[in-house]
Amino acid sequence: MTTPTESRQQKVIDELRGFIRKVLSEPTVAARCMEIAREHRQERDARERIAREISAETIVRIPEAHSEADEIFLDVIEDVLEEEQALY
pLDDT band at residue 79 using 50, 70 and 90 as cut-offs: very high
Domain membership of residue 62 as a residue range: 4-87
Q: How far apart (Å, rounded) are the C-alpha atoms in residues 19 and 9?
A: 15
- For the segment 6-10, the average pLDDT, to the nearest whole number, is 90
Give residues with Cβ within 8 angstroms of 10, minimum separation 6.
2
Q: What letter represents residue 37's amino acid?
A: A
Return the pLDDT at 1.
66
Q: How far apart (Å, rounded) are the C-alpha atoms in residues 23 and 8?
A: 23
Q: What letter represents residue 71's amino acid?
A: E
Q: How many domains does the chain have?
A: 1
pTM over 0.85: no
Q: How far apart (Å, rounded) are the C-alpha atoms in residues 11 and 24?
A: 20
For the segment 16-66, what is each residue's pLDDT rounded down to a tens digit?
898 888 888 998 999 999 999 999 999 999 999 999 999 999 999 999 999
